[in-house]
Homo-oligomer: A and B are copies of this chain.
Amino acid sequence: MTEARDRAAEASRPTGTLERHSPVGTQRDSASPDPGERGTGDSDGPEEAAALLRRARASVDPELRAALASLPGMLGRVAQYHFGWQHADGTPATDNAGKAIRPALVLASAGALGGPAARAAAVRAAAAVELVHNFTLLHDDVMDRDTTRRHRPTAWTVFGVADAILVGDAVQALALRLLATDPHPAAAAAVARLADCVVELCAGQQVDTAMERRDPHEVTLEETLAMAEAKTGALLGCAAALGGLFAGAADEDVEALDAFGREAGLAFQLIDDVIGIWGDPRRTGKPAGADLAARKKSLPVVAALTSGTPAARELAELYTRPYEEGTEDLEQTALAVERAGGRDWAQAQAADHMARAMQQLSRAVPSPEAAGGLLALAEFVTRRNT
């Protein structure tokens, strides 16, 4: 799903029920402020998010570059390649950096609860989160045998499996080192949180790789959702929570920020899975239906498989056979998922999780002005259109 995370960062805004279910219009907790009144409003979200991402990238890049510069020999080479700063031959590259969504969440969260001083204090924590994200990408690509990442060959295809594993290990060490040596009084608590998140990311990837080998009949929707939360929600939650810790927030606010990031991450994953089946291949950079061809047990697919409908039985039948190129396989499979209700379910669930994310956000950051940046980022990860 780390692959999926990045895919959505490059994907088109899905059409469908999400617009209607937009949490901005459907906030159901009347005790909390209406997020529709928040900040600069929904229409300014994309520009605000883009500005926050650019600013986060500018803030964390010096920390990331300094950390990576400490890696000796080939470890440094492979890391610089993976981060998009060098080509495979070691010459400088400029246009392949990631989107810095997680650092932006850390910084927006710190800023929302502690203002510019807290934002400045959280820069190393933001860099640490980005390092953890990239260590998991390096390793997940090895395990999943993914050959493309950010439109380039993955590190293991260029430098070999051993180097990709070792650089991932080293980058995790850099991440926790950066956070542990931060002078902020919350640094130790932040390391504990980030390390717990690493364990959760690993557990999620473990369930995911094991799930791919299991019979479609055996997989439940509950465990698929739990896996998606661990693989995608945990690090977004941790990012938001770390910002809170570095702003000196109260425990319950830190937990609410964590829950906000987790819910937004689940919404993101649901939408990403929809794009993985019905998305526009010219926009996503992947052929539509790639997840179906790989017989991936994505959320809409598992929802369809467990729906008890006639289409569910048809889908299960299709999923027990390998994908046949040059046939109507993909169209047939996508249609079965849709008729079994997988598409509608995923879109409604995405809206529900975004609504819950907004509730948690209003709990941690009651002021609409202060919460505007986090809201814009949450909308960006779930519905971005550039």
List residues 181-208 of chain A with CB under 8 A from any CB of chain B.
181, 187-189, 191-192, 195-196, 198-200, 202-203, 205-207
A174: which B residues are within 8 A, CB to CB? 195, 199
Closest CB in chain B relative to A228 CB, distance in Å = 15
Closest residue of chain B to A136 (Cβ to Cβ) is: B169
Closest residue of chain B to A135 (Cβ to Cβ) is: B169
Interface locus among A10-18, A65-73, A274-282: A65-73
A161: which B residues are within 8 A, CB to CB? 143
Contact status B142-A206, CB under 8 Å: no
Interface string of A119-160 (1 = CB under 8 A from B): 000000000000000011001001100000000000000000
Tell me whether A181 and B188 are in contact in the complex, defined as CB-CB below 8 angstroms, given that A70-B199, A162-B143, A165-B142 are known contacts: yes
Interface centre among A135, A168, A187 (most CB of B within 10 A): A168
Contact status B165-A199, CB under 8 Å: no
- The answer to whether the Cβ of A74 comes within 8 Å of any Cβ in the partner chain is yes
Alpha-carbon distance between A219 and B206 when the two chains are bound, in angstroms: 39
Contact status A206-B75, CB under 8 Å: yes
A195 is contacted by which of B173, B187, B189 (Cβ under 8 Å)?
B173
Closest residue of chain B to A191 (Cβ to Cβ) is: B180
Contact status A206-B173, CB under 8 Å: no
Alpha-carbon distance between A192 and B124 when the two chains are bound, in angstroms: 14
- The answer to whether the Cβ of A167 comes within 8 Å of any Cβ in the partner chain is yes
A210: which B residues are within 8 A, CB to CB? 74
- The answer to whether the Cβ of A177 comes within 8 Å of any Cβ in the partner chain is yes
A162: which B residues are within 8 A, CB to CB? 143, 205-206, 209
Closest CB in chain B relative to A101 CB, distance in Å = 21
- The answer to whether the Cβ of A290 comes within 8 Å of any Cβ in the partner chain is no
Closest CB in chain B relative to A133 CB, distance in Å = 13
A170 is contacted by which of B71, B163, B181, B199 (Cβ under 8 Å)?
B199
Contact status B177-A181, CB under 8 Å: no
A163: which B residues are within 8 A, CB to CB? 206, 209
Contact status B170-A173, CB under 8 Å: no
Alpha-carbon distance between A195 and B175 when the two chains are bound, in angstroms: 9
Alpha-carbon distance between A174 and B75 when the two chains are bound, in angstroms: 23
A residues with a Cβ closer than 8 A to B are 70-75, 135-136, 139, 142-143, 161-163, 165-170, 172-174, 176-177, 179-181, 187-189, 191-192, 195-196, 198-200, 202-203, 205-207, 209-210
6 A-B pairs with the lowest CB-CB distances in the bound complex, closest first: A177-B195, A180-B191, A173-B198, A176-B176, A173-B195, A143-B162
Q: List 27 A-B contacts (CB under 8 A).
A: A72-B200, A74-B206, A74-B210, A75-B206, A136-B169, A142-B165, A143-B162, A143-B166, A162-B206, A166-B202, A166-B203, A167-B202, A169-B169, A170-B199, A170-B202, A172-B172, A173-B195, A173-B196, A173-B198, A173-B202, A176-B195, A177-B192, A177-B196, A180-B187, A180-B191, A181-B191, A188-B188
